[in-house]
Structure 1
Amino acid sequence: MELRTAASPKDVKYYTTERLREEFLVENLFKTGEITSVYSHIDRIILGAVVPVTPLLLTPGEEIRAEYFLLRREMGVINVGGEGKIKVDGTEYHLKSRDGLYIGMGAKEVIFSSEDEKNPAKFYYNSAPAHKSYPTVHIKPENCVRVELGSLEQSNHRTITKYILPGQVESCQLVMGLTSLKPGSVWNTMPCHTHDRRMEAYLYLDIPEDGLVFHYMGEPAETRHLVVRNEQAVISPSWSIHSGCGTGAYSFIWGMLGENQDFDDMDGVSMDTLR
């Protein structure tokens, strides 16, 4: 498990490009036959990926010093690859591409596998500290709350599919979903915002091999950017904006955790204050 420490905005504004990437960009998540994990001190999120060829058991690692991974944690998983299965304490869930699974605190045995080793599942997950156990739920995108925002004229026409949120799939603090831009749109979360009460992580998807996304971060008057490619993730501190502009349309999985679960609890940033 890779460890990332928290960072002060007073320091980040002096970072080089390489240092920004070391602290906030996660480049090699999806490794065939492995489970990857990145533990961030920012609200204690663990994000990672599982690409099983043979079944893989989720283990805690020394970093969280627990008997099993979800002893004091909850987890949200979204499959972005071939069909796969997740077995949670003996109960098996079959996940098609873009299906999700919420796993509550206290689940002892979590095993990931693929239906076809030549087209393996690619499970992306976010895990948050938890204080209460909620039921494990198989999440199908067609049953989720969907919101359409933006317009083609503003290059930000997008559909937000909310997987884990109060009233749909209950959790302690984790909120997760998927945003997909319409063809011809390239901007997400612009006008941008911050939310001091929670951090956020993005996994960028559906970016062609010759494409990329410029992910904008930093304080509104001290913006920086990261060049992000397909299936790479960004850790966004609560004090930072988080917005992207791509060379074409793309998708991203967002996960949030922290003080509250109110999706609309945002501090808007007016365009004239950005620098």
Structure 2
Amino acid sequence: MTISVSVRQVVGPQDAARRNTQGLRDGFVIEAMFQPGQVNLTYSHLDRMIVGGVVPTGEKLEIGHVAETGTGQFLERREAAIINIGGAGTVSVGGRNYPLGFQEAVYVGMGEGTLGFASDDPAEPALFYVLSAPAHRTCPTVHITRDMAKKVHLGSAEECNARTINQYVHPDVCESCQLLVGLTMFEPGSVWNTMPAHVHDRRMEVYLYFDMQEATRIFHFLGEPGETRHVVLKNREAVLSPGWSIHSGAGTGRYAFIWAMAGDNMSFTDMDKVPMESLR
């Protein structure tokens, strides 16, 4: 079994402002993560976050040694969170099996060992979304169901952003070293996420857009507030967001997204709000 790993260097705000569409996609967009029978990882130099997709369609897939981390084992000095956005499957680690249904997750503490992935039905495989950040201590591994997630209701129909934020890996749900992970879902007719915009220079963030129709697209906005750009994303594509960048979007139809953060501050309310008049 081969683990495919791509590496993304850090893109600064001045560089981003000069890039064309393909240049922005090369720096920030992660495409084609979820491929049958494959493990595809992206190693970002933004807080050393690793983002990936695992789709078991036959034999069990594993993440054990990843050369790009420079360690003997993938989780030797890392923690991870895995959310299933496909058919039923199982994540195995530390001699234990964690069955994951749709939108269920498992947080895995540092040093737990090789991660294993299997689908209950290869014809309807699990789609395991993997997020991993460096860790300095071991936190307990926890299976997180949708009912366990802390739910925060924000926005309004009038502002086209009525939504529920499901906080999965969060201090109020489970202990982690620096990972924060959640899933945002929208009320019918609401299309805007993270608007009004904000930045948080203490940590990076990554969005995975999913649960979209084939023709649905997300217009995702990035860049410094006074120098914004956009990229167009389709189902199951992710976008990296440096601490200096806004991260906001609007969809042409129904969608949901998984957000994950790593960095210095673990307070979900730690953000610098951007006044609407500052956006350009």
The two structures share one fold, judged by TM-score above 0.5: yes
| Structure 1 residues 159-170: aligned runs within 5 Å | 159-170=164-175
Deviation at 1:206, TM superposition (A): 1.5
1:195-237 residue CA offsets vs partner (Å, 9 max, x unmatched):
0000000000112111100000000000000100000000000
Residue 36 of structure 2 corresponds to residue 32 of structure 1: yes
TM-score of the two chains, using structure 1 as the length reference: 0.99
Deviation at 1:109, TM superposition (A): 2.0
List runs of 5+ in structure 1 lacking aligned partners. Answer: none
CA distance in 1, matches of 2:78, 2:251: 34
8 Å CA contact 2:6–2:41 kept in 1: the answer is yes
8 Å CA contact 1:207–1:249 kept in 2: the answer is yes
List runs of 5+ in structure 2 lacking aligned partners. Answer: none
User: Paired residues, what number?
Assistant: 275
Q: Where has structure 1 moved over 4 Å in runs of 4 or more?
A: none
CA distance in 1, matches of 2:172, 2:182: 14
| Structure 1 residues 208-247: aligned runs within 5 Å | 208-247=213-252
1:55-74 residue CA offsets vs partner (Å, 9 max, x unmatched):
01113322111111000000
Residue 163 of structure 2 corresponds to residue 155 of structure 1: no
Aligned residue in 1 for 2:122: 117
CA distance in 2, matches of 1:208, 1:183: 14
8 Å CA contact 2:216–2:254 kept in 1: the answer is no
Deviation at 1:144, TM superposition (A): 1.3
TM-score of the two chains, using structure 2 as the length reference: 0.97
CA distance in 1, matches of 2:181, 2:172: 13
Aligned residue in 1 for 2:7: 3
The amino acid of 1:40's aligned partner reads S
CA distance in 2, matches of 1:75, 1:143: 18
CA distance in 2, matches of 1:154, 1:49: 33
| Structure 1 residues 91-240: aligned runs within 5 Å | 91-240=96-245
1:5-61 residue CA offsets vs partner (Å, 9 max, x unmatched):
001101110000000001100111001001110001111000001101220111332
**Identical columns (%):** 49
Deviation at 1:274, TM superposition (A): 0.3
1:237-274 residue CA offsets vs partner (Å, 9 max, x unmatched):
00000000110231000000001110000000000110
8 Å CA contact 1:199–1:258 kept in 2: the answer is yes
